[in-house]
Amino acid sequence: MTTATIPVTPALRKAINAAVRANTSGFAPCAEVGLRDCTPLGDGANLPNALNWTDDSDLGDFVALRDLKTIDAHDAAPGCASLDLYVTSTYMGERQLETNVCVLIRDGAVIGATSESHRIPALVAHHGFPVGNGF
C-alpha cells in the first residue's frame, strides 16, 4: 500500500471539473469520486485512485470532488492517478445519475478524460499511462 499522496490543488480541482463538464451533457453536473478498498481482505480504507484498486474491489463510498483533498499515489507510478467520477446532473428539477467519467492525472495535471468506458484503453495507451488492476 502506498503512503505518498497527490495533493488536490485548486488548479487540479478546476481541471477535473472542466473534464467533467466536457464529458457530460446535463445541467449543473456534480461530480463525486468513487472510493474503493484496495486491501486483499477488503478491510482497509476506501481510496480514490483506480490504479490501486483490484478487480474485486467494491465501491465503498463517494466523496464530493469539492471535498477531495488528496489522492493516494500508485507505487509503480507515483504521480499518476485514475479517478472514477460519478456525475449527477439536474434533469427536470431532480438530480439524477448521468454518467461516469474517467479522469487521468499525471504530475498534478489532467491529461485525459472520457465518459465512454470502451474508450478508456485507447486513452490510457495514447498517454502511455500505467494500467491499474481494477479499472
For the chain, give the percent of residues with pLDDT over 70: 93
CA terminus-to-terminus distance, the chain: 17
Mean pLDDT of 43-65: 85
Compute the distance between CA of residue 132 and CA of residue 66 in angstroms, rounded to an integer.
25
Q: Domain map of the chain by residue range?
A: 5-126
Alpha helices in the chain (DSSP H): 10-22, 120-126
Q: Is the confidence at residue 133, as pLDDT, over 60?
A: no
C-alpha cell at 10: 485548486
Q: Is the confidence at residue 42, as pLDDT, over 70?
A: no
120, amino acid identity: I
